Structure 1
Amino acid sequence: MKRQQALGLKLKMSYAAMQQGLIDGIHNGMEAVLVLTTVGALIGTWIAGGIVPSIIYYGLSVMSPQIFLFAAFFICAITSLATGTSFGTAGTAGVAMMGIGHSFGIPLPLVAGAVISGAYVGDKMSPLSDTTVMTASLCRVSLVDHIRSMLWVSGPAAIIASLLFLVVGFFYIGDSVDTQRTQIAMEALKGHFTINLWLLLPAVIVIGLLTRRYPAIPVITFGAVMGSLCAWLAQDIAPIDALRTAYVGNAMQSDVEFLNTLLNRGGMESMLGVVALILFALGLGGLMERIGVLQTISNGFLRWANNPGRLTVSTMLSAFFGNFFGGAAYVSVITGSTITENSYDEQGVDRRVLSRNVEAGGTITTPMVPWTDGGVFMATTLGVSTLTYLPFLWYHMLVIVLTVVYGYANIAIWRTTPTDANESNAAMATS
């Protein structure tokens, strides 16, 4: 960060202005920081309260190993579409899917790929998602039109990804699964937790409240409170200790090693390192935007973008730079939309294409970069490093490839008349 400060001073920019850029960058991502903290509390209390162990237990009892990857992708996709949050999906359904998959003997990076792929279907497509709403707003496109535009790419990508997970399940997992390990895991769960169907109720309530568009932070906090109550009433943990799990997470010891690894986690304390890294990345991104580094990098691509294919690639790269240098999906959405929007008007390309390309280069690539908020959160929550699960983010890769193909093949590239483009530029000049 000192190099960026030195560059700013060389450009005769005051220290106060650079500091404000750093503060603005952090401010833009504070909602993600708060969500991270509350999700950490949720994971800790839901494990201690037996909610996650109950989901794992009943999932093991009814789910076939061969269709598990498909089911994990589908369940996380439905959950994220209903709630609009990839973090909340990974922290609840995702953690449970990791436990079920490990007990089936499925490699954890593969399970994480299915979980994250499903979680980002909703993060990208749900009308409840903050990045979806933010992208539509910045690109000046109605939310419904934005989602319809993304369906052209996300629909085929989700179908193909689900089929890939299904095929891998039948042809790879079918011959190698260890069913005895499943029984050992179920017995260990029953030995350390009270397992009951009513313990699934907090998960149903939280998902239901998020579906009804209640704010994510208070809903997740309420879910953590319910988890503490379950730890006290169902698991016979002292009230103070039940509350402490919201901060320090769950602690247990069993004869099954993977349960020790999976269920000894959570709590706001576990997110402190993640929060520190994200704050640093957000501040760096804001500083680089203030001194013009991101603008300079992107301008080179804009001079090259003289057709819809190149325009698509330049928008995606501009959004990706927001992730790579800014460390957050919020930054990527801002850089992708604001840096390239004039080129769409000048070339007579509808802004629905702009909003779709911003999501493909920004939201989708967030968990693919190890130091972004999404990358750090997914690695910390699921216990698998970013570079390890990266090859299995099939939905993400398909969205990226299909978006580029659509751009060069002129598929779903809607046009505006020169008059519409001029009016758009005039409106921007007066705003």
Structure 2
Amino acid sequence: MNAEKRLPTLGEVIFVLVSFIVIMFFSVVQLGIPIQLALLATWFMIILVGLKIGYSYKELQDGILKGIYDGLEAVLILISVGALIGTWISGGIVPSIIYYGLSIIDPSIFLMAAFIICAITSLATGTSFGSAGTAGIAMMGIGASFGFPVALVAGAVISGCYVGDKLSPLSDTTVMTASLSKVNVIRHIKSMLYVSAPAFVIAALLFLGMGLFFNSGNGDLSQAEATMSALNDYFNISWYMVVPAVVVIILLALKMPSIPVILFGALLGSVWGFLFQNMSILKSINILYSGNDIESGVDFIDNLLNRGGIEFMLSVIVLILFALGVGGLMEKTGILRAICNSMLSWADNAGKTTLSTILSGFFGNFFGGAAYVSVITASKITEENYDRLNIDRRVLSRSTEAGGTLTTPMVPWSDGGVFMATTLGVSTLTYLPFLWFNFLAIIITLIYGFTNKFIWYTKPEKHSDDEPKEIANS
């Protein structure tokens, strides 16, 4: 009854890509339509193409559901982090971190400190979302008090958060990428250090230089002092306020499951609000859903701290579900495979193969809306080229992280892009130029590919071994 299924033609692929971009940017930029509705409109456009190439509506709907199912863990983390943000603000955890940060961090080194602190947090916890929702919000408050542009602070925060998301053995994307690439996770992390170590050092120096530049012309700390005074007036500020943060970091470092640990941390925030912030039990619990609502008298503090709660994340969750549906449709109809297949014959050396993997990861984020989609498209669609060229799969896993994980916060409708923009209060396109670690890691990965540095090869006859014999190439 159904027509024979086929891969979309080049013309059909171009039609889908151009239509997607036109719908997204015209709807959002020109008409001001919510991005969620724009993504929903793209469903129907892709469905029409799917029907044309032989798929039934039921099959296409199954593709949507599979795409959503594959990304549901990210949705659950969003719900958990939303609850945690609300109670950690109302319970005094985040305000205390901001207060003490203003007391001990010199403005001239603040941007570098924010980058390093968020990197350490994400390395210890393995979650960029959790790190941004806790240490990241605190750094945004400190940076605003010092008078730094919020986009620049957000760039330092997100850059730091993705150090751990890319390198931590506790990170789901790190483990998932190693698994998809069929590489031992420790060997995967070691291969990424060749890229991440220089990128980290250069990014830290750039943030230090920018901090010195801003501080040299702005030594007024009156805003920081006003912030500390407002926080001290409204919250009970003390060292034991940070105990929930320490507990959560330790539990995550012990490889406890992230979702229940984050929810436990959110519950601790409610307990802290009741015990130390003079809140009723009912109000401290309701904040888990409704988020924080204060009137401190300092506008930017109210704007920063009036957030969180599961309700705070609902529009983000809807957006991500629609984006995951787009990814499922792209995967089901073969559009993503058709895009990446076109690069396979072109990628005939290490440099082009590295570039093809990075582009495949970016396409996964751009059209699939999630890091999970991007690491799948980057690794599974380009893996055969690495085998054909006898390039060790550690190079595949490293390139997958560069193109998949690191480009996630660069796409306004991806899970990472939406979460960072919503949580930190800065639009994706505003903070994008300051994602220095992300850009540096991608550039260094490409340089290694095209210069053949730190590219490992396997002998053909040893390709199936667990530990292939390497040909020294760098």
The 2-side partners of 1:22 and 1:196 are apart by 48
Superposed CA offset, 1:383-409 (max 9, x none): 000000011100001011111111000
SS at 1:227's partner residue? helix
Q: CA RMSD in A?
A: 1.1
1:243 partnered with 2:285: yes
Matching residue of 1:81: 123
1:275 partnered with 2:310: no
1:307 partnered with 2:349: yes
- Where does 1:175-324 land on structure 2 (aligned, <5 Å)? 175-324=217-366
1:355 partnered with 2:397: yes
Matching residue of 1:153: 195
Superposed CA offset, 1:350-394 (max 9, x none): 101000000000000000110000000000000000000011100
Q: TM-score, normalised by structure 1?
A: 0.97
User: Does structure 1 conserve the Cα–Cα contact (< 8 Å) formed by 2:148 and 2:214?
Assistant: no
Matching residue of 1:427: none
The 1-side partners of 2:452 and 2:411 are apart by 29
The 2-side partners of 1:290 and 1:130 are apart by 24
Q: Please tell me the residue identity of whatever aligns with 2:224.
A: T
Matching residue of 1:93: 135
Residue 364 (structure 1) aligned to one of 406, 411, 436: 406
Matching residue of 2:418: 376
Matching residue of 1:329: 371
The 2-side partners of 1:73 and 1:166 are apart by 10
User: Does structure 2 conserve the Cα–Cα contact (< 8 Å) formed by 1:22 and 1:286?
Assistant: yes
Q: Percent identity?
A: 61
1:135 partnered with 2:172: no
Distance 1:344 1:231, change over 3 A: same
- Where does 1:97-116 land on structure 2 (aligned, <5 Å)? 97-116=139-158
Superposed structure 1 runs of 4+ greater than 6 Å apart: none
Q: Please tell me the residue identity of whatever aligns with 1:316.
A: I
The 2-side partners of 1:174 and 1:243 are apart by 45
Q: TM-score, normalised by structure 2?
A: 0.88
Matching residue of 1:37: 79
Q: Please tell me the residue identity of whatever aligns with 2:176.
A: M
1:60 partnered with 2:102: yes
Report deviation, 1:423. 7.9
The 2-side partners of 1:182 and 1:160 are apart by 28
Distance 1:422 1:94, change over 3 A: closer
1:49 partnered with 2:91: yes
The 1-side partners of 2:241 and 2:454 are apart by 46
The 1-side partners of 2:216 and 2:261 are apart by 39
Q: Please tell me the residue identity of whatever aligns with 1:95.
A: I
Q: Please tell me the residue identity of whatever aligns with 1:273.
A: S
Residue 69 (structure 1) aligned to one of 91, 111, 118: 111
Q: Please tell me the residue identity of whatever aligns with 2:242.
A: L
Q: Structure 2: 5+ residue runs without aligned partners?
A: 1-42, 467-474
Report deviation, 1:421. 4.2
Q: Please tell me the residue identity of whatever aligns with 1:33.
A: V
